[in-house]
């Protein structure tokens, strides 16, 4: 079944103002049979980005769910619509995140667990994918190896089922740390095969995320094709995701993969 399992909405402050229904109409027009809204759940820390636009507001959660349910019913004869969240794994804030998941447990099966924020000290969190200049500045401040090793460590913690039975079992864009890789001269030292083996061992699905193809300093999927092929060899389940932040991006580049 052709499905897009990673879609954002107008409730995302760094996305489009287009209504959720526009994403639905695009999915139908592209022949998708299923789609999953996965809006960024509210952060359980103060947003470390300059624009404070990483995630939806707490006040919008119920409106997002209500609108998603209405669309699910309205288009039930044309498309399967699921509602979930993209949950940030925030090191040191597991209890706070678990409280959110308990309150919204019905949506856990369609949710994604991602690492955007790494904790560099007890008081400092850094968003790894905010923009190139911020990433390069942080490299100069703490060192590339520090950032990468901290991301790797955080990713493994996210893969350790930190919320027990309420842990979303799809891991999002695992190679996001490489979003700006063409902007610096460093070698990625993460053993990604070992990461894939841990994903398999812990029973996670993997977000096969096409957004990276449109990132000027990446131009690859998350993860890249060579790791996707390895994941398939390991029988790691894949969830195709456009990571759409605008209706036009729903199902983007899926045809490229389907031809292989």
Q: Is-contact 143 37, C-beta < 8 A?
A: no
Report the 10 Å Cβ neighbour count for 235.
7
| pLDDT for residue 62 | 98
| pLDDT for residue 260 | 47
| pLDDT for residue 67 | 98
Q: Does the pLDDT value for residue 259 go beyond 70? A: no
Q: Does the pLDDT value for residue 121 go beyond 80? A: yes
- Across all residues in the chain, what is the average pLDDT? 97
Share of the chain above pLDDT 90, in %: 96
Own/partner contacts of 135-138, CB < 8 Å, gap of 24 or more, are 135/179, 135/180, 135/183, 136/180, 136/183, 136/184
| pLDDT for residue 1 | 58
| pLDDT for residue 204 | 98
Strand boundaries in 79-169, DSSP class E:
80-88, 112-114, 117-119, 125-127
Q: pLDDT band at residue 248, thresholds of 50, 70 and 90?
A: very high
pLDDT digits (tens, 9 = 90+) for 135-151: 999 999 999 999 999 99
Pairing of strands 117-119, 125-127: antiparallel
CA torsion, points 109, 114, 119, 123, in degrees to nearest 10?
A: -60
pTM comes to 0.97
Show the DSSP H helices in 143-191 as ranges. 144-158
**Encoded tokens for 93:** 């804030």
198, burial (CB in 10 Å: exposed 0-12, middle 13-18, buried 19+): middle
| pLDDT for residue 258 | 53
DSSP state of 225: H
**Encoded tokens for 202:** 């812990």
3-class SS of residue 113: strand
CA 52 to chain centre: 18
Q: Does the pLDDT value for residue 4 go beyond 90? A: yes
Distance, CA of 81 to CA of 23 (rounded, Å): 11
Task: For domain 3-258, give the fold.
Answer: TIM Barrel (3.20.20)
Cis peptide before 223 (omega within 30 of 0): yes
pLDDT digits (tens, 9 = 90+) for 169-220: 999 999 999 999 999 999 999 999 999 999 999 999 999 999 999 999 999 9
Own/partner contacts of 103-107, CB < 8 Å, gap of 24 or more, are 104/61, 104/65, 105/166, 107/65, 107/83
The residues pairing with 80 across neighbouring beta strands, listed in sequence order, are 34
| pLDDT for residue 256 | 72
Residue with tokens 């820390």: 45
pLDDT digits (tens, 9 = 90+) for 54-105: 999 999 999 999 999 999 999 999 999 999 999 999 999 999 999 999 999 9
Distance, CA of 35 to CA of 236 (rounded, Å): 20
Q: Is-contact 259 252, C-beta < 8 A?
A: no
pLDDT digits (tens, 9 = 90+) for 52-64: 999 999 999 999 9
CA torsion, points 156, 191, 206, 152, in degrees to nearest 10?
A: 30
């Amino acid at each position: 079944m052709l499905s897009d399992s990673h879609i954002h909405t107008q409730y995302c402050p760094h996305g489009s103002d287009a209504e959720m229904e526009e994403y639905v109409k695009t999915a139908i027009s592209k022949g998708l049979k299923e789609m999953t809204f996965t809006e960024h759940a509210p952060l359980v820390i103060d947003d470390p980005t300059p624009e404070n636009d990483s995630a939806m507001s707490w006040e919008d959660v119920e409106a997002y769910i209500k609108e998603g349910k209405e669309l699910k019913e309205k288009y039930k004869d044309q498309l399967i619509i699921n509602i979930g969240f993209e949950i940030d794994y925030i090191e040191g804030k597991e209890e706070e995140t678990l409280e959110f998941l308990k309150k919204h447990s019905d949506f856990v099966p369609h949710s994604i667990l991602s690492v955007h924020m790494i904790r560099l000290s007890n008081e400092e969190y850094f968003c790894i994918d905010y923009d190139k200049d911020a990433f390069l500045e942080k490299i100069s401040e703490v060192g590339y190896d520090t950032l990468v090793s901290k991301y790797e460590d955080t990713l493994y913690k996210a893969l350790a089922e930190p919320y027990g039975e309420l842990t979303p079992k799809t891991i999002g864009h695992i190679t996001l740390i490489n979003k700006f890789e063409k902007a610096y001269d460093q070698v990625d030292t993460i053993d990604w095969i070992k990461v894939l083996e841990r994903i398999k061992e812990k029973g996670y699905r993997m977000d096969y995320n096409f957004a990276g193809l449109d990132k000027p300093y990446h131009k690859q999927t998350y993860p890249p094709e060579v790791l996707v092929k390895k994941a398939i060899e390991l029988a790691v389940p894949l969830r195709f995701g456009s990571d759409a932040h605008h209706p036009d991006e729903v199902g983007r580049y899926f045809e490229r993969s389907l031809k292989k």
